[in-house]
A = this chain, B = another copy of it.
Amino acid sequence: MFDAEGRRYLDAYNNVPVVGHGHPRVIEAIAEQARLLNSNTRYLHEAPVELAERLLASMPSEAGFDRALFVNSGSEANDVAWRIARSVTGRSGAIVSEFAYHGVTEATADLSPEEWPRGYAPAHVALVPGPDGYRGRYGRDEPGWATRYGAEVGTAVAAMEGRGTPLAAMFVDPAFTSDGILCPPAEYALEALRAVRAAGGLLVADEVQAGHGRFGDVMWSFQASGITPDVVTMGKPMGNGYPVAAILTRSELVDGFADRTGFFSTFGGNPVACAAALAVLDVLEDEGLLANAATVGARLLQGVEDLGGDHPSVGDVRGKGLLVGVELVKDRSTREPATELAVEVLNELRDRGFLIGVTGRAENVLKIRPPLVFGEAEADLLLGALDEALSSIHR
């Protein structure tokens, strides 16, 4: 990326341009289809059919998914998933993690405690702790720690039922990006799903953050846990910047909802949006970007861990594929979050021409989440710059 003065930046932050900024195949697909026709799905067109078939085929067959609905943003996708869950269960209870983010509409803002105004707490939403093995209530050294976090879902369900609000759905970003990039082991999702199913609720996997191959060895981040959610939502990376999002699920969950509400989105699934989304799927495959995310991600993760040897402020390193969280602390024994340091590192890196973000409740976790075309050379450049940034700030 280049700024207005022509300074160049290496983008290690944005998951929207998943196949790289300005990828010519995606732009060509958008321009070509826009020249030809951009209509809505009240008219039959092959593009949404092809996209639905491709996306459904990318899901594990045991999920039994056979329906795709197209909308324009992750917010809309999660909002519609929530409407489906309420409609099919006849219930109004939701579970999300303590610092989750699922969208900007009224319904999804209620599912996003990260953005709740002080003192705001909608009665129908129960919070469960993010499965944090570093500083949470169960430590990574305790046997079964991830399962114990998963069991918190069952506890939350019981409390909600006690208040007369049975569970409609749990929404989960399998990478817990806004909770600080936690990427828990499979036991967490397995136990959480068991609790959700036992309560008669739905599990919605929100792949807006970590989907489209970011984890490297799987297309969808929930697959890393081997679970099969009831609904999958996707957005940000789907059109490499073109606004497009989707809800995938099973016909028995959605057909009644669609019939009763006459569900329709004007822009959702328009031929240009579908062309962009199809081009992204093509590029991911043709350029081997999942394999690249796995290889480069491993190198990056190892490199950041190695940096910990020289920089005591590196308290914990977590991640999978090209999603890496670096938790900064003031002191490794107290693990006190180094919030200011995280912002200083982010700004120092920006001044050196590297873009990253921060995340987590204390905003002390460096968020490294580059486009999946990020190569080994770029990883090494970033690691070098991070080393220099941490060194320059040590006081």
Contact = CB atoms under 8 A, between A and B. Distances in A.
Contact of A38 (B22, B73, B115): B22
Count identical subunits in the complex. 2
A130 interface: no
A261 B267 CA distance: 26
Contacts of A179: none
Given A31-B30, A105-B79, A261-B117, A266 B37 contact: no
Interface core residue of A105, A241, A260, A268 (most chain B CB under 10 Å): A105
A266 B267 CA distance: 16
A120 to B, nearest CB: 8
A386 interface: no
A214 interface: no
A34 B14 contact: no
A31 B242 CA distance: 11
A104 B117 contact: no
Given A105-B76, A106-B79, A22 B37 contact: yes
A21 B1 contact: no
Nearest to A83: B106
A273 B16 CA distance: 15
Interface in A16-33: 16-17, 21-22, 24, 26-27, 30-31
A35 B27 contact: yes
Contact of A266 (B30, B73, B240): B73
Contacts of A38: 16-17, 21-22, 240-242
A362 interface: no
A31 to B, nearest CB: 4
Contact of A74 (B35, B241, B263, B266): B266
A73 B17 CA distance: 21
A6 interface: no
B30 A34 contact: yes
A82 interface: yes
Interface in A41-84: 71-76, 79-80, 82-83
B22 A109 contact: no
A270 interface: yes
B104 A264 contact: yes
A143 interface: no
A223 interface: no
Contact of A82 (B76, B106, B273): B106
Given A72-B267, A76-B105, 9 more contacts: A1-B37, A16-B40, A22-B36, A27-B31, A38-B241, A72-B73, A73-B267, A76-B104, A243-B267
25 contacts: A14-B40, A16-B267, A21-B37, A22-B34, A22-B35, A22-B37, A31-B34, A34-B241, A38-B240, A72-B72, A72-B243, A73-B76, A73-B266, A73-B267, A74-B266, A75-B76, A80-B104, A86-B106, A104-B264, A105-B106, A236-B266, A241-B267, A241-B272, A242-B243, A243-B244
Interface of A: 1, 14, 16-17, 21-22, 24, 26-27, 30-31, 34-40, 71-76, 79-80, 82-83, 86, 104-107, 109, 115, 117, 235-236, 240-244, 260-268, 270, 272-273
